[in-house]
Structure 1
Amino acid sequence: MDRNEKTYLSIEELLSIPTISGLNISEDGINVAFVKNTADWEDNTYRNHIWIYEKNKGVCYAFTTNGVEGTCPLWSPDSKHIAYLRSVGDGDKKNQIFVESIDGDGRVQMTDEIEGVSQFKWDPTGKGFYYVTQSRESEEIKKRSKTYGDFHHVGREYKNDCLWYVELKDSTRLDENVPYQLTDGRDFHIHEFNISHNGEKVVLMATASPDGEGGQNGELYILDRQSGELQKLSGDKLLGGNVCFSPHGNKICYSASIREKEYYKTHIMDSTLEIYDLMSGQRIQPLIDFDRTVTPICWTAKGILLMWQDKTNYLIGLLTEDGKLNMLSETTECCIMEASMTRDGNHLSYLKAAPNETFEVYLDNEKITNENGLFEGKLKSNREIISWNSSDNLEIEGVLTTPIDVDWNKKYPLLVFIHGGPAWASFPIHSSCFNEKYPVESFIEKGFIVLEPNYRGSSGYGNDFLMANYRNLGISDYQDVISGVDALVDRGIADKDRVGVMGWSQGGFISAFCSTYSDRFKATSVGGGITNWITNYVNTDLPSFIRMHVGNTPWNDKEIFAKSSPMTYIQSACTPTLIQHGEKDARVPVSNAYELYKGLRDMGVDTELVTFKGMGYSSEKPGIHRAIMKQNLMWFSHYILGESMDGFRVL
């Protein structure tokens, strides 16, 4: 095909790139299961299908078909059966555990929980399943509702996630699978759990409630399966990530903060790996000098499989018994987002994207999928890492996306796309799961270049870089962004008079700040962004996030909250601003969008507010994401390239 006949991926094609997750390798190292999430445009929904790769046959195929969907596939300990979650029921469907043999025969539904199953694991003996489901409404609440009507005591009444067990019987009848409860749901909400290899102990990471604030009070517990005794493990660190048993069941590992809990009430969290010896009660942090946050995946006979981010790369490695961390990635330039390893440590599967590619599944370092085939016959942008110094001389990196045949002597209109988080980053890869709102390939086709800055506070750059964002939200973020713009202008590749900025969540906040604080941008798009830190503090489901970054409450330090808020600078706003927001966003409530919209309108600034019904941070409808992308494409094409806005309101 001639170069001039090729096109970039359309918005629909970008959103049709499958998102792969739920990777799991069988214990014999022969088969791999994973989930492909794809857009069903006809029904305007996303479909989850389990795929299986059989090494002996050299084939990769869809295991769930004909209207059956599935997520979270897990191989049985003997590698002969696969269990997964499937949404069933009338009306409001809920996830239940199903199990069947690899040849697809004898499908058995194991649970019928009213609230569904949120997570589960095989009993290491293969005799049943441990699973988590929401506690049922108490008889007291039912009686109260019948007498007075429905109401809720905020901060007092919760439906906690509890641990249950169900035995796998030699039967296809659901009514013969009798589950029983292992933990009380009144003051015990389970976040993560794991089972020792011999099945004698269960480790639980739990809080008193599912309240986001309760996450700062997580504790570890050990459940003895024979006696039923639940023992709390003493400790004073913030906990996170997976929790794993050692092969002999005498130690556990997990992610934990470096300092004590109290410190993080008003400071950004830094974390590392922690190992707890169940016999001695000793806790050690073997990677305290490793300036990256690590997440344990599993503990094998050859060591602990870990994942960590190193700038714009995600890597995996094994921490051996002698304390040495051996990298398992073939290269240091890649993005590995999931990994699964056999207990003997002999076989490994992972999900990896190389630079300028999308994710593929690998088994023992051999690629077993071909998702990048979607780009065949298409033009594809080029993504590279650049760096510059911010106003305080802090080095900032970012991803610069250009046409494959970029003319470095030409000045291009520039769009700045800011990632959320802030403890996240932009990566030089193609992935719909990382970006479902901004059509980068369409921007390139229109003639733009795109910069994605990894501003201070982004993950993967070490604790000092993380802490550089502490009590610096807003103005320092702006300086990191605008210094990147200036660097490209100085290189002669960007036109300083044709620059736009966009982002969602934390990226939306920074975009809103750019819109009100500066006149450097010709157009802005604010997606799900905080516009007033004080009002967001009292409405968000996670005020602890704000205290960690701002260092205080608005009642004790109004000045820092005002200094960091885009609304403080609304009187100087002059940038045409598109505001997009999920109607049901709990983290950044939609009131933020209305406040910015009203302020801009009062200042006479061109603005549009679009709220998406039923949507939180993201949508379950690909059509909504298509509308978000098309609105952004039209907005920047109009205000920077001068194209028509006809049809904007009838997308």
Structure 2
Amino acid sequence: MTKGYNTIGQPELRSNPQHIYGRNTHRSGVKTTSAQFLASLTLVTALLISTATVASAQLNPEDVAGLKLVNSVVLHDDGEMLAYTITVPREADESVGGDYQELRLIDLSSGDDIGVVEAPSSAAAPAWVPGQDRLAFRMTDPDYHDAPQVYSVDFEGEDIKKHTSAPEGVMNFSFSPDGSHLAYTMRDAWPEEVQERRDQGYDMDVSGEDERHVRLWVKDDDVSEAMTPDDMTVWDFEWAPDSRRLAVRTTYGTGLDDEMMFSEIMMLDIRDGELELLAESQGKVATMTWSPDGSKFAFLAAKAINDPLPQRIYVTRVGDYVSDDITPEDYEGTPEWLVWKDDQTLRFVALEGTKTGLREIPVSGGEAELLMGGDLEIFRSASFDSSHELFAAPVDRRDHPPEVYLGNLRDGEWERLTYNNDFLDGVTLGRQETISWYGPDGLDIEGVVTYPQDFEEDGAYPLAILPHGGPEGTSIDGWNTRPLYPAQVLATNGYVVLKPNYRGSGGRGSWFTMANHRDLGGREFKDVIKGIDYLAYEGAIDPGKVGISGTSYGGYFSAWAGTRYSDRFAAAITFAGLSNWISFMGTTDIPHEMSITHWDLWWFENEGINWDRSPVAHIRGADTPILVAHGSADDRVHPEQSIQLHQFLELNEITTQLVMYPRQPHGLTERAHRIDFMERVLDWFDRYVKD
């Protein structure tokens, strides 16, 4: 073990600025039995509605850019308190930057909604401190430090304490079950002599020489010690019930490609720092969890190394190493979250088609019983109280983005607790539903359709297709509008909108996710073509007025549509999309993941199909106007993919435009850029699809 630095676990001498913590019971609205609280809520709701965009009865880009989204939700064991984080976008008059992440507490007995961390500070990863009536979280405070540190507050949202002073900032953290230790991960600092050179301008990035590993630290009293070697990166960890062992997921490389494809699940004993194999796994790994008695270990992982998702449930008896896949063979779903109910029973939340469900399965395997879900409420995780009957979750529906809900397994009922986007009550949304059709080989394909508000089956409507990325992403039949996928905004402007779950998508098990292997851009894209034909046959759309807009792999679909299938598409928009499979493999940060789990084929094993399935290979036969957009700081799909596509389009005199968004990674994080992109989508489609 390596001796570390001292940290002070005492409250800082500081004032109590409102944006750090403080009682605030009138911000988002909470259902409660308290008459006084309800009265104040009614007044505030009326004020919010009167000042919001009620006059705009239709959703517009500014509305979408201003949505507040609930993220993580944690329910206390006693079922009386919960905490949640919420994404709060910056206002138009604020400095350029990303969203804030605020943290709030709800006292379920009184209905009080208490502000703990508010903008311009940001918080993440709320967790209850075992054995203490305190809530821990990771916070970035621009007034005091930029590197995230671990703090905690009491049930009143007060008595703030700082638990770490990690020089490079805390990435993940967890208190031991007995509350005696704090484990966290931190990226190694540059060696002192290297940092001095970098400060002098010698800040070159040299492949193979400039890796900085992420190590696991454990804090006991006021001393933190590094528990993992300096040549190993820790991506995830989970305390055992005995508070002496941890499961740690590690790699010897530092990149995302290593994390997704080559991680190992090890067991660390903090008493002597010994590491040993805990569970066999291959490919992608997700949620990890110990049984209550510590004798078993469960986790989500891939069926095989070429499975694009960690969607199988594995159980290992501690000390045996061998992992048993207990996922029912006939189960068509993608588990995303896992927890123990007791030593013999696991619960999981899964994507199931375009819906979600909470299920229970014996650790020995067998039928996965549906406990709750399969309806309008969409949730991707759950936080239970000690009774295992009451749980809290971020839940979205067709009519609103994620809010805090309570679910009760006794009666199967939901209770909504927060109302962070009240203006939506005055917005008219298009009708939304899940449809299905047959792919080119008879495979059943699903998709989510959103219709214009005045929709009538007369076949006159233009169609906007919004393919998800991945390709292992999933279009869900809940809230379906965000800046890169503005479904309801397009519906408001007269488009039928289709979000297809083509083969290769998640939500239907490993077999479906792997059904596009060695055929990217082949039958999976013909699934989309068949969806267009189905909607035309049903009298919903004009097949001569079809546009497509997608991001990442969805951007590849858009570029592929506008080139190889130019005769079927009036316009295309690609954001951060792939255009040349061969050059993409030479510039992306995930070459192994893309080759092994999606292509199931290395490009040099069959250069012909990689080139043939590249949009730039089919430009000479195309005439579809293509809007090309990309973030300048994208490491996943290098901006050269869009620059290359745009230049080839121009050289072939095809209508195009290139938009580069400064500072943006593999997505859009800034308000102005989000609004700009949505407005460009509307303008491009109105110009080349409607007209």
The alignment's TM-score, normalised by the length of structure 1, stands at: 0.90
Alpha-carbon distance change, 149 to 9 in structure 1, aligned in 2, over 3 angstroms? closer
Letter in 2 for 1:124: P
Paired residues for 1:22-421 under 5 Å: 22-41=72-91, 42-43=93-94, 44=96, 45-65=98-118, 67-78=120-131, 80-88=133-141, 93-138=146-191, 141=194, 149-167=202-220, 177-184=222-229, 186-215=230-259, 216-233=261-278, 235=280, 237-259=282-304, 261=305, 264=306, 268=308, 271-289=311-329, 290-301=331-342, 303-321=345-363, 323=365, 324-342=367-385, 345-365=388-408, 366-371=415-420, 373-421=422-470
Give the Cα separation in 1 of the matches to 2:72 and 2:671. Answer: 21
Unaligned runs of 5+ in 1: 169-176, 643-651
The structural deviation recorded for 1:194 is: 0.5
The structural deviation recorded for 1:392 is: 2.4
Paired residues for 1:490-501 under 5 Å: 490-501=537-548
Q: Which moved more, 1:131-140 or 1:29-38?
A: 131-140
Alpha-carbon distance change, 296 to 358 in structure 1, aligned in 2, over 3 angstroms? closer
Pick from 574, 586, 593 the counterpart of residue 526 of structure 1: 574
Letter in 1 for 2:618: Y
| 1:555 aligned counterpart, secondary structure | helix
The structural deviation recorded for 1:122 is: 1.5
Alpha-carbon distance change, 204 to 567 in structure 1, aligned in 2, over 3 angstroms? same
| 1:637 aligned counterpart, secondary structure | helix
The structural deviation recorded for 1:550 is: 2.2
Contact 2:279-2:316 at 8 Å conserved across structures: no
Deviations 1:67-93 (A, max 9, x none): 443221111123511111111357982
The structural deviation recorded for 1:148 is: 11
Q: Which moved more, 1:66-75 or 1:197-206?
A: 66-75
Pick from 540, 554, 579 the counterpart of residue 628 of structure 2: 579
The structural deviation recorded for 1:431 is: 4.8
Letter in 1 for 2:555: G
Give the Cα separation in 1 of the matches to 2:141 and 2:126. Answer: 16
The structural deviation recorded for 1:589 is: 0.4
The structural deviation recorded for 1:415 is: 1.0
Contact 1:301-1:344 at 8 Å conserved across structures: no
The structural deviation recorded for 1:330 is: 4.5
- Tell me which residue corresponds to 1:10: 60
Alpha-carbon distance change, 423 to 38 in structure 1, aligned in 2, over 3 angstroms? same
The structural deviation recorded for 1:100 is: 1.6
- Tell me which residue corresponds to 2:41: none
Deviations 1:566-601 (A, max 9, x none): 111011120111101011111110000011101110
Q: How many residues align?
A: 624
Contact 1:243-1:253 at 8 Å conserved across structures: yes
Alpha-carbon distance change, 79 to 11 in structure 1, aligned in 2, over 3 angstroms? farther
Give the Cα separation in 2 of the matches to 1:143 and 1:5. Answer: 57
The structural deviation recorded for 1:6 is: 6.3
Deviations 1:18-65 (A, max 9, x none): 221121111222111111102122315412111211111123343223
| 2:157 aligned counterpart, secondary structure | coil
Deviations 1:595-644 (A, max 9, x none): 110111011111000011111112331121111111111111122234xx
Deviations 1:516-565 (A, max 9, x none): 11222111101110000000001000011331222322222111101211
Contact 1:17-1:374 at 8 Å conserved across structures: no
Q: Which moved more, 1:441-450 or 1:364-373?
A: 364-373
- Tell me which residue corresponds to 2:586: 538
Unaligned runs of 5+ in 2: 1-48, 409-414
Aligned Cα RMSD in Å? 2.5
The structural deviation recorded for 1:190 is: 0.8
Q: Which moved more, 1:551-560 or 1:82-91?
A: 82-91
| 2:257 aligned counterpart, secondary structure | helix
The structural deviation recorded for 1:468 is: 2.0
Alpha-carbon distance change, 165 to 236 in structure 1, aligned in 2, over 3 angstroms? closer
Contact 1:201-1:225 at 8 Å conserved across structures: yes
Contact 2:626-2:656 at 8 Å conserved across structures: yes
Alpha-carbon distance change, 79 to 410 in structure 1, aligned in 2, over 3 angstroms? farther
Pick from 547, 554, 561 the counterpart of residue 595 of structure 2: 547
Paired residues for 1:562-641 under 5 Å: 562-641=611-690
Contact 2:314-2:323 at 8 Å conserved across structures: yes
Alpha-carbon distance change, 513 to 230 in structure 1, aligned in 2, over 3 angstroms? same
- Tell me which residue corresponds to 2:22: none
- Tell me which residue corresponds to 2:525: 478
Q: Which moved more, 1:369-378 or 1:514-523?
A: 369-378
Give the Cα separation in 2 of the matches to 1:514 and 1:640. Answer: 14
Give the Cα separation in 1 of the matches to 2:279 and 2:543. Answer: 57
| 1:93 aligned counterpart, secondary structure | strand
Contact 1:254-1:296 at 8 Å conserved across structures: no
Letter in 2 for 1:546: M
The structural deviation recorded for 1:271 is: 4.2
% same residue: 25
| 1:633 aligned counterpart, secondary structure | helix
- Tell me which residue corresponds to 2:34: none
Contact 1:237-1:256 at 8 Å conserved across structures: yes
Contact 1:239-1:254 at 8 Å conserved across structures: no
Q: Which moved more, 1:47-56 or 1:151-160?
A: 151-160
Q: Which moved more, 1:61-70 or 1:26-35?
A: 61-70
The structural deviation recorded for 1:496 is: 2.0
Give the Cα separation in 2 of the matches to 1:257 and 1:427. Answer: 21
- Tell me which residue corresponds to 1:174: none
Letter in 1 for 2:580: N
Letter in 2 for 1:202: L
Give the Cα separation in 1 of the matches to 2:178 and 2:475. Answer: 42
| 1:396 aligned counterpart, secondary structure | strand
Give the Cα separation in 1 of the matches to 2:198 and 2:114. Answer: 49
The structural deviation recorded for 1:66 is: 6.6
